[in-house]
């Protein structure tokens, strides 16, 4: 039976004696679709398979984080957050949350920001706060707590990101990539490539460039069109 829980110990993916990296699985643009079900208070896969127990906290270390504002899933225009992560099997996954849960995350983000800590350099504990609507129906809001990763864990996460990018370049969801990001860290897509992404793609498409590095000027020319669609990346909505 595969363990599909979010991973909170990245060192398990690297052999400490040889340095070999475990096989990581990611179909570019199609991370495994996890759902943070706030009507029942648990994490599931594809809206069906329970991953965590109801109302039980879980821990996750984000590979990338992104926020956007859009009308998704016929819910009207809302602010959303995408959390990209590895599960225990080394699959690249993503879940999303919005509104009050995003407000809770934002409060923790502020503390990290003033401590000059990247939100991807922290291990997050996600729990559930029970609420009741006007019709006395129960629902949940996600709560967020964080603890700093060790220097070794941060280095390991960077190694794992680089392993993913060497094969697939981008960490993104194809179904939301056309919506401009309002904040992003370690997120990129064919629509919002970084300079490093463009260099990596150039090397893949033309091996001769490995002997003749792409200059910064050339990269800027190549990325001008893509960057017109980009929005601010330093402000969490």
Band the pLDDT of 74: cuts 50, 70, 90: confident
Band the pLDDT of 204: cuts 50, 70, 90: confident
User: pTM of this prediction?
Assistant: 0.86
**Could you identify the residue written with the tokens 């793609």?**
201
pLDDT score for 220: 45
Check residues 176 and 226 and name the one with the higher pLDDT: 176
pLDDT score for 76: 85
Nearest to 65, CA basis, from 119, 4, 3: 119
Average pLDDT over residues 165-190: 97
pLDDT score for 38: 95
Structure tokens at 194: 């970084």
pLDDT score for 136: 85
DSSP 215: P
Average pLDDT over residues 142-150: 96
Return the H-helix or E-strand segment holding 152: helix 151-168
Per residue in 78-135, pLDDT (tens digit) is 999 999 999 999 999 999 999 999 999 999 999 999 989 999 999 999 999 999 888 8
Per cent of the chain over pLDDT 90 is 78
Least confident segment among 98-112, 132-146, 205-219, 220-234: 220-234
- CA atoms of 178 and 124, how far apart (whole Å): 28
Domain ranges of the chain: 10-187
| Whole-number average pLDDT of the chain | 89
Per residue in 111-120, pLDDT (tens digit) is 999 989 999 9
Question: Are the CB atoms for 11 and 153 separated by under 8 Å?
Answer: yes
φ, ψ for residue 62 (rounded to 5)?
A: -75, 135
């Amino acid at each position: 039976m595969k363990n599909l829980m979010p991973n909170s110990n990245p060192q398990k993916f690297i052999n400490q004696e040889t340095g070999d990296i475990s096989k990581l699985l990611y179909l570019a643009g199609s991370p495994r679709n996890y759902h943070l079900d706030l009507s029942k208070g648990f994490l599931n896969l594809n809206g069906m398979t329970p991953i965590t127990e109801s109302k039980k906290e879980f821990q996750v270390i984000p590979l990338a984080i992104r926020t956007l504002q859009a009308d998704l899933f016929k819910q009207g225009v809302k602010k959303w957050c995408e959390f990209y992560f590895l599960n225990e099997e080394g699959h690249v996954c993503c879940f999303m949350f919005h509104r009050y849960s995003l407000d809770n995350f934002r409060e923790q983000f502020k503390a990290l920001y003033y401590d000059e800590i990247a939100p991807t350099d922290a291990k997050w504990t996600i729990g559930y706060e029970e609420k009741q609507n006007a019709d006395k129906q129960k629902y949940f809001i996600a709560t967020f707590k964080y603890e700093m990763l060790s220097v070794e864990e941060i280095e390991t996460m960077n190694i794992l990101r680089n392993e993913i990018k060497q094969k697939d370049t981008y960490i993104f969801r194809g179904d939301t990539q056309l919506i401009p990001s309002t904040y992003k860290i370690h997120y990129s897509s064919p629509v919002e490539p970084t300079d490093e992404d463009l260099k990596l793609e150039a090397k893949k498409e033309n091996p001769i460039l490995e002997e003749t590095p792409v200059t910064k000027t050339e990269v800027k020319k190549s990325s001008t069109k893509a960057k017109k669609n980009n929005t601010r990346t330093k402000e969490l909505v």
